[in-house]
Amino acid sequence: MAQAYAASPLVELRSCYTRNPERRQAFAADFGCGQDESLDALLARDDVDGIVITAPNDQHAPIIEAAAAHGKHVYTEKPVAVALADLRRIRAAVLGSGIVFACGHSARRLAGLRAMKSLLDSGAAGAPSMVEAVFGNERGLELKEGDWRADPVQAPGGPLTQLGIHQIDNLQYLLGPARRAVAMGQAPRPGIANQLAVGVLLEFDESLGYLGCNWLSPGSFTIDVYARLARLRYELDFSWWSNSAQTDRHTRLTRTVIAADSANPDARVLATEEVPLPPRDHLREEIEEFAGAIRGTARVEVGLAEALANVAVLQAAARSLRTGAPTAIGDIMAEIEEPR
Amino acid sequence: MAQAYAASPLVELRSCYTRNPERRQAFAADFGCGQDESLDALLARDDVDGIVITAPNDQHAPIIEAAAAHGKHVYTEKPVAVALADLRRIRAAVLGSGIVFACGHSARRLAGLRAMKSLLDSGAAGAPSMVEAVFGNERGLELKEGDWRADPVQAPGGPLTQLGIHQIDNLQYLLGPARRAVAMGQAPRPGIANQLAVGVLLEFDESLGYLGCNWLSPGSFTIDVYARLARLRYELDFSWWSNSAQTDRHTRLTRTVIAADSANPDARVLATEEVPLPPRDHLREEIEEFAGAIRGTARVEVGLAEALANVAVLQAAARSLRTGAPTAIGDIMAEIEEPR
């Protein structure tokens, strides 16, 4: 993320803070910025407009509360938080505070996602009936007992929380709000209580979504859209996931249509063509939008409402993993918005 | 199917029967075989060893009962039947009858399925944690009110019964018996009560399955396997689905592995390579195996047990579509095996 920011003329890394002084020093040296010895000191600075939170999920709430109290704008990594209590705190801190609030669901800014959204919104692909989104990698094979990612409370569904949350945003970006979730998981590693492979079915108003997440296989990031006039397939080479200036160059979007129609269904012929994807930089675009929103020249695309709606889907899936039954996402949203 | 059989020296189309005399005559002329004016007349012939049933699903049970009573061997198209009452009748008719019984789940004989199974069984791909199987086409867009395929009882889940049953066999072929199913569906066409898009999650002993079926988008047939050492992707060009001698030439299996490992997960590099698929002919292999089993020189791979186990998964998914809750597949099997 810092690499992507360093390339932008619109933002400047002014300072940094983390509890470990060596890591703080190393970051300041790597990116040529200052450093502060406490969060309070950082938030008290006059030359800082906003902060970027990359702390673990369960530390987001107190940092956001402190930032809002200081009138500092906030960009936070996804998920905005996991625990319902944290989501309530964050919502209370941000609403009415007047700060700009952005959450890092940057994957919807990948060139392929923008192209899919445009093909759906323009009607060129026809109405979608199903979208399948998959995100996985091999990192569960190295997971140790005691790691927070091995804990179903801190990271419900393991890869669902860490990877799936990206695709939850993508699915709601493409299809609108999800209504209901049902999930199944497998926890195949002795000593690791958390699920390392999870499947989720999502009901949307007029379509279905599937989300597949695993931590047990070489990296994958794909989205398949089944629409009336075309089916679309997006593939991203996970080797390039962390380098946002290069990611789009290692992605591919294809469109499959009926190229030769016939009254005899067996005689219809399919054709697949590549959709051009002019490269973008999802992390840079996101921080520049955040800067623009602070200056009053842009609007945040993924703000508090979108961030909470994504975690509501995650928590609905997590509840379904525990109970086995489908969960209404509105029930989770009600728990976030009206604490009992 | 008849085209595939005509190419084989091991089987001979001796006669045919269907109620409509014009269609019977046309088939006999097209394939140079005789014809009979009733099913009984066909089953009474001394020069017929076995029959191939291509009648609609709800007519399988009485035909199989009649064939078994005449000691004729039976090959039937998939699904073996849909209604639980029909499955009980078929089971009772076949068990102890001594006839050879085969069900046309031929998709597992596609070169790519055989290659995936071999990569899993040999351990070369490592243990699989998830398999996603998708089968869809556009035929629900032409469905008329009153068509049996529009009826959730005759064709539960629409494309799930007609297309998904193939992938149910493939999933159980690759992963063993499924234990539990949960499903969601959408019925987006006014006047058509049946679901035209369906997603199913399946729980296996040590892995998960996803089955996606739709009748609302250009044809698709794909299988993705997420295993510890590799991920495998199989794609079949649906334009070639009905021509079994050519199908394999229009399929592709890729294997993605971590080609350059690193202690830093972000530095790992993936590589994808094509797995060679020497072409086969799934329909011809199947009928030749049936002929061999009649002669005592082969064993039927997909017999009564496999056919019933596949419909049990289908009916579990259908029950879940109605109730919203997960369904144990063992409960359905118990209803098939021990009628109340």
> Which of A328, A326, A313 is closest to A87 using CA atoms?
A313
Contact check, Cβ <8 Å, A134/B183: no
pLDDT digits (tens, 9 = 90+) for B283-309: 999 999 999 999 999 999 999 999 999
**B339, pLDDT greater than 70:** no
Contact check, Cβ <8 Å, A270/B238: yes
**A168, pLDDT greater than 60:** yes
Beta-bridge partner residues of B327: B181
A263: CB partners within 8 A, 6+ apart = none
Q: Which of B212, B217, B325 sits opposite A210 (nearest CB)?
A: B212
Calpha distance A205→A122 (Å, rounded): 19
Contact check, Cβ <8 Å, A220/B226: yes
The CA–CA distances, whole Å, from A115 to A158, A206, A228, A234, B326 equal 30, 21, 17, 10, 36
Q: Which of B188, B241, B269 sits opposite A129 (nearest CB)?
A: B188
Judging contacts by C-beta atoms under 8 Å, the chain B residues touching residue A209 are: 199
Contact check, Cβ <8 Å, A199/B220: no
User: What percentage of chain A reaches a pLDDT higher than 70?
Assistant: 99
Beta-bridge partner residues of B221: B135
Judging contacts by C-beta atoms under 8 Å, the chain A residues touching residue B208 are: 184-186, 197-199
Calpha distance A100→A122 (Å, rounded): 30
Domain B2-106+286-302 of CATH type 3.40.50.720? yes
Calpha distance B89→B81 (Å, rounded): 10
Bigger pLDDT: B67 or A339? B67
Judging contacts by C-beta atoms under 8 Å, the chain B residues touching residue A324 are: 325-326
**Minimal-distance CA residue of chain A relative to B227:** A217
**Tokens (6 digits) for A117:** 């959204």
pLDDT digits (tens, 9 = 90+) for A12-56: 999 999 999 999 999 999 999 999 999 999 999 999 999 999 999
**A340, pLDDT greater than 60:** no
**A306, pLDDT greater than 70:** yes
Q: Which CATH class is domain A2-106+286-301?
A: alpha beta
Map residue B159 onto helix, strand or coil.
Answer: helix
CATH code for A108-280+312-323? 3.30.360.10
pLDDT at site B248: 97
pLDDT at site B7: 87
Q: What is the pTM of this model?
A: 0.96
pLDDT digits (tens, 9 = 90+) for A245-271: 999 999 999 999 999 999 999 899 999
User: What percentage of chain B reaches a pLDDT higher than 70?
Assistant: 99
User: Among all chains, which residue has been given the structure tokens 């009485």?
Assistant: B62
pLDDT digits (tens, 9 = 90+) for A206-217: 999 999 999 999
Calpha distance A4→A10 (Å, rounded): 12
pLDDT at site A4: 87
Domains B2-106+286-302 and B107-280+312-323 share a fold: no
pLDDT digits (tens, 9 = 90+) for A95-136: 989 999 999 999 999 999 999 999 999 999 999 999 999 999
CATH code for B107-280+312-323? 3.30.360.10
User: What percentage of chain A reaches a pLDDT higher than 90?
Assistant: 95
Judging contacts by C-beta atoms under 8 Å, the chain B residues touching residue A207 are: 186, 188, 197
Domain ranges of chain B: 2-106+286-302, 107-280+312-323
